[in-house]
Amino acid sequence: MNKVLVMSSLQKIGGVAALFQATIYISAFVFFGAFWDYPVSADDAQKLVFLTDNQSTLSIVNLTMYVAFGLLLAILVLATHQRLKTKAPVLSQTASVFGIIWVGLVIASGMIANIGLAAAIDLSATNAEQAMTLWIIINTIVEGLGGGNEVVGGLWVLLLSIAGLKTIALPKLLNWFGLFIGTVGILTIYPAEVLTEIFGVSQIVWFSWLGAAMLTSSKK
Whether pTM exceeds 0.85: yes
Q: What is the pLDDT of residue 6?
A: 63
Question: Please, what is the average pLDDT of the chain?
Answer: 91
Contact 182, 164 (CB under 8 A): no
Is the model's pLDDT at 14 over the cut of 70?
Answer: yes
State the distance between the two ends of the chain, measured CA to CA, in whole angstroms: 14
List the domain boundaries for the chain.
2-216
Q: What is the pLDDT of residue 7?
A: 66
Q: What is the pLDDT of residue 41?
A: 87
Q: How confident is the model at residue 219 (pLDDT cuts 50, 70, 90)?
A: very low
